[in-house]
């Protein structure tokens, strides 16, 4: 079966391909934040940093979507807040883990959500995963290992917390798949960010001093709130309405590739054969994952006109018509 395309002004748009492009932007933004966050949490408590970051992100999205939020049902609010709580706890444990383990080890362990995602799909929903998808997962893991592993201390608290964070990210991807095509992306993103902010704030409060973060951390907070918070969550939420969770996880393994590129360009690191080999494996995994058909994950089709909206959810249903499929 061919992918669903939509006829809009200027011709047909391939939504799955556009979704892959959106996720590439997401991974690029996330890859740019690693060294920024590493420096910031050396002067600010990780939970305080995340509480400030996601509170700002939530306020931004609520400001542009409050009319839509008033129309949501209690069930939709519960779904979004639950997704936000999962993502928020994942952010907290991963960021705390980063304080207690090497950056290279943290990057590899976080990337294991590409393996955990299809396992959760099979365990929770008994969804069949295509053999070529497993091939792409294997290549992505190999690439992550080549890029990241320089020696692991083994079994420390940092490694365990980071692994828990990876599992929670995978769980968020899996359950977001159940909702992304049934609510408009802007509303769902805003509610998720409220949930993330509330979760991070609740975790931060017991040990908080009640003072604002150090001024030197505000650049990192604002960048990660606007670009790597509100924008990336919106793009991921919209993209998951058109791609399977496993394919989303595979594309997101581009994050360490971009992290490496930023480290070489801005951090003074040297481009080595190991970095080139790891990046090549991940790019190959992404191409295979994108080209692999997923019969078990047909496009979401409902009577809700929001299912055919643009990433901001403001496209009128009259301007998008599903093309026939074979």
| pLDDT bucket at 211, cuts 50 / 70 / 90 | low
Give the pLDDT confidence of 26-46 residue by residue, as tens digits: 999 988 887 788 788 888 888
pLDDT at 300 (0 to 100): 44
Least confident among 54-63, 76-85, 99-108, 237-246: 99-108
**Hey, how many other C-beta atoms are within 10 angstroms of the C-beta on 152?**
15
What is the rounded CA–CA span in Å between residue 285 and residue 253? 9
Contacts with 281 (C-beta within 8 Å, 6 or more apart), sequence order: 139, 140, 142, 143, 146
Q: What is the 3-state composition of the chain as percent helix, strand, coil, each rounded to the nearest 5?
A: 70, 5, 25
Which of the residue ranges 37-41, 83-87, 208-212 would you say has the lowest mean pLDDT? 208-212
Averaged pLDDT for residues 18-31:
92
CA separation for the pair 92, 87 (Å, rounded)? 9
The pLDDT tens digits for 283-311 are 788 778 767 654 334 444 333 434 444 44
Per-residue model confidence (pLDDT) at position 85: 97
Least confidently predicted of 18-22, 132-136, 185-189, 239-243: 132-136
Nearest residue to 34 via CA among 200, 283, 267: 267
User: Does residue 155 come out as left (phi exceeding 0), alpha (psi in the -120 to 50 range) or beta?
Assistant: left
Which of 2-6, 19-23, 55-59, 102-106 has the lowest average pLDDT?
2-6
Q: Can you give the pLDDT at residue 187? A: 95
User: Residue ranges of the alpha helices (H) in 215-322?
Assistant: 218-225, 232-239, 245-251, 255-266, 273-291
- Domain locations in the chain? 14-207+218-322
Cβ 72 vs Cβ 151: under 8 Å: no
Please indicate whether residue 322 or residue 194 has the higher confidence score (pLDDT). Answer: 194
Q: Residue 17 and residue 19: Cα distance in Å, rounded?
A: 5
pTM: 0.78
Min mean pLDDT across 20-34, 82-96, 245-259, 267-281 is at 267-281
| pLDDT given at position 210 | 62
Task: Over range 51-58, report the average pLDDT.
Answer: 96
% of residues, the chain, pLDDT over 90:
35
pLDDT over 70 (residue 68): yes
């Amino acid at each position: 079966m061919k992918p669903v395309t939509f006829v809009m002004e200027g011709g047909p748009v391939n939504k799955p391909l556009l979704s892959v492009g959106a996720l590439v932007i997401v991974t690029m933004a996330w890859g740019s934040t690693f060294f920024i966050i590493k420096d910031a949490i050396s002067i600010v408590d990780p939970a305080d940093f995340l509480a400030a970051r996601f509170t700002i992100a939530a306020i931004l999205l609520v400001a542009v979507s409050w009319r839509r939020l008033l129309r949501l049902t209690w069930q939709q609010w519960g779904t979004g807040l639950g997704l936000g709580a999962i993502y928020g706890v994942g952010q907290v444990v991963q960021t705390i883990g980063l304080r207690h383990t090497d950056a290279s080890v943290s990057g590899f362990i976080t990337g294991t959500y590409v393996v955990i995602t299809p396992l959760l799909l099979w365990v929770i929903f008994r969804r069949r995963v295509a053999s070529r998808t497993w091939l792409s997962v294997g290549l992505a893991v190999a690439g992550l290992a080549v890029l990241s592993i320089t020696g692991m201390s083994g079994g420390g608290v940092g490694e365990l917390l980071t692994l828990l964070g990876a599992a929670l990210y995978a769980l968020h991807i899996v359950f977001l798949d159940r909702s992304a095509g049934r609510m408009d992306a802007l509303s769902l993103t805003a509610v998720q960010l409220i949930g993330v902010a509330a979760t991070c704030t609740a975790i931060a409060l017991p040990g908080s001093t009640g003072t604002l973060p150090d001024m030197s951390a505000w650049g990192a907070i604002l960048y990660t709130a606007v670009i790597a918070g509100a924008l990336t969550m919106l793009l991921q939420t919209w993209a998951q309405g058109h791609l399977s969770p496993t394919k989303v996880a595979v594309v997101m393994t581009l994050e360490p590739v971009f992290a490496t590129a930023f480290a070489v360009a801005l951090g003074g690191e040297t481009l080595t054969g190991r970095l080139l080999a790891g990046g090549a494996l991940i790019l190959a995994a992404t191409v295979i994952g994108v080209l692999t058909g997923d019969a078990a994950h047909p496009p979401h089709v409902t009577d809700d006109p929001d299912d055919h909206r643009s990433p901001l959810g403001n496209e009128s249903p009259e301007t998008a018509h599903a093309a026939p499929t074979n």
